[in-house]
Amino acid sequence: MTKEVINEKIALEIPEGFQVMSADDLYKLYQENNFDRWGIWDRDRHIVITVSWQRVPALLSVLADVKSIAKRNQQLAAKGYAGHNYREEGLFSTEADNVHLEGYRFSYDLQDFRQKAETLLMKYEKMIYNFTCVSREESAAEGSELFRNLIDGMKLD
């Protein structure tokens, strides 16, 4: 396995079979030029894992905990995937390198395939990090395990 450092703060061990996505690949996937995003994928297994980050606004850092932010992001996902047979599949939380993460699971249809997604959010050093794994339904169990292992092995600077 190789190691990648995200935003000079988060070290992740890249699972076998995954490749780092180029800026063009990320643009094709998200249709936006967010330069604060990084991702890996395994094209054969149809699994994508991305990390995006943004500075936490001062007021938000005082008023909202990461669980509230995760719930708000879940609402935004429901709205964004409304025309794609969106289904909420629950909230969850975990710990990694002594930091608390909150997340949610959901599924949706895209190009005749059922997609399963898991998102985890973390506040760290005045930033919100959004970790997301998306896989086709047939590879969802494997994608979920790889995502969990990636998060469990995360090391923070």
Spatial distance between the Cα atoms of 7 and 36, rounded to a whole number of angstroms? 8
pLDDT tens for each residue of 36-85: 999 999 999 999 999 999 998 877 667 788 999 999 999 999 999 999 99
Spatial distance between the Cα atoms of 139 and 144, rounded to a whole number of angstroms? 9
Question: Residue 35: pLDDT band by 50, 70, 90 thresholds?
Answer: confident
Question: Residue 20: pLDDT band by 50, 70, 90 thresholds?
Answer: very high
Quick one: pLDDT at residue 5? 97
* Pairing relationship of beta strands 127-136 and 19-20 according to DSSP bridges: unpaired
* C-alpha separations of 132 from 51, 58, 77, 146 in Å: 6, 24, 12, 12
Report the predicted TM-score, pTM, of the whole model to 2 decimal places.
0.92
**Cβ neighbours of residue 71 closer than 8 Å, sequence gap 6 or more:** 91, 104
H or E element: which one contains 92? strand 87-96
Quick one: pLDDT at residue 64? 80
Q: Note whether 39 and 29 are within 8 A (CB).
A: yes
Q: Region 117-131: what's the mean pLDDT?
A: 95
Quick one: pLDDT at residue 31? 77
Quick one: pLDDT at residue 60? 67
**Domains located in the chain, CATH noted:** 2-156 (3.40.1000.10)
Does residue 136 register a pLDDT over 70? yes
Q: How far apart are the first and last CA of the chain?
A: 20
